[in-house]
Amino acid sequence: MPTNPIKITAEPTADPNICKFTVDIPLSPARTINCRNKDAAQGAPLLEALFNVDGIREVLISGSVITIAKSGSDSWPVLGKMIGATIRGAIESGQPLIPDNWGTKPPSENNLYQAVERILATRVNPGVSTHGGKVELVDVKGTSVYLRLSGGCQGCGAANVTLRQGIEKAIRAQLPEVTEVIDITDHASGKNPFYKTTRTDGSPL
């Protein structure tokens, strides 16, 4: 734990939603760390603490520089004070900020399951529900995700387009560790598809 006061300097960027914070001690000297959500931050005390600050969307750490993207409406002067206090608290705790083996192992199936469920609830199902569809998480095995589509998505002629270009992209954008997204839907039993199987001209997502 440093004995001198920790100096942190904030530097705005051309993007109003991104700000750089330079700390006067190295945080991750050996590698660059990129973390996109709270679930992925598990096991790294500094990242966990930062994602506990409301409005933080993504964290990039390189050397002594932390680049943070925000999603909330709080201004950087307000958010910056909370971020600065969080960084200082993590450093002063004496814990390893980012363990050497962090990010080298795939997340547990339980953590991945919870993360995918959250993405479906907040990013996927609000879109497909406008067309009478629903996407259900059935299982996670290793880094493979198994989904079932229902309602307007079951038997829909654009289901594969929706799966690959909409659902899978949404999941892997937040969880790059996911290696495959598998649809186990019985599409032949679909009773009210949004697009008939003869139509493949679009995706409802």
pLDDT digits (tens, 9 = 90+) for 37-57: 888 888 899 999 999 999 999
CATH of domain 109-189: 3.30.300.130
Higher pLDDT, 157 or 6: 6
All residues at 6 or more sequence positions from 147 whose CB lies less than 8 Å from its CB, including other chains:
135, 136, 137, 138, 163, 167, 181, 182, 183, 184, 185
Helix (H, G, I), strand (E, B) or coil at 10: strand
pLDDT digits (tens, 9 = 90+) for 99-136: 877 776 666 788 889 889 988 998 899 988 988 889 99
Question: In the beta sheet, which residues pair with residue 65?
Answer: 22, 62
**Where does the chain hold its CATH 3.30.1370.70 domain(s)?**
8-92
pLDDT for 2 equals 55
**Where does the chain hold its CATH 3.30.300.130 domain(s)?**
109-189
At residue 25 the predicted structure's pLDDT band, cuts being 50, 70 and 90, is confident
At residue 204 the predicted structure's pLDDT band, cuts being 50, 70 and 90, is very low
pLDDT digits (tens, 9 = 90+) for 168-188: 998 988 788 888 999 999 988
Helices and strands counted in the chain (H then E): 6, 8
pLDDT for 95 equals 86
State the DSSP H helix or E strand holding residue 172, giving kind and residue range, or none if neither.
Answer: helix 168-174
8-92: which CATH architecture?
A: 2-Layer Sandwich (3.30)
State the DSSP H helix or E strand holding residue 135, giving kind and residue range, or none if neither.
Answer: strand 133-141
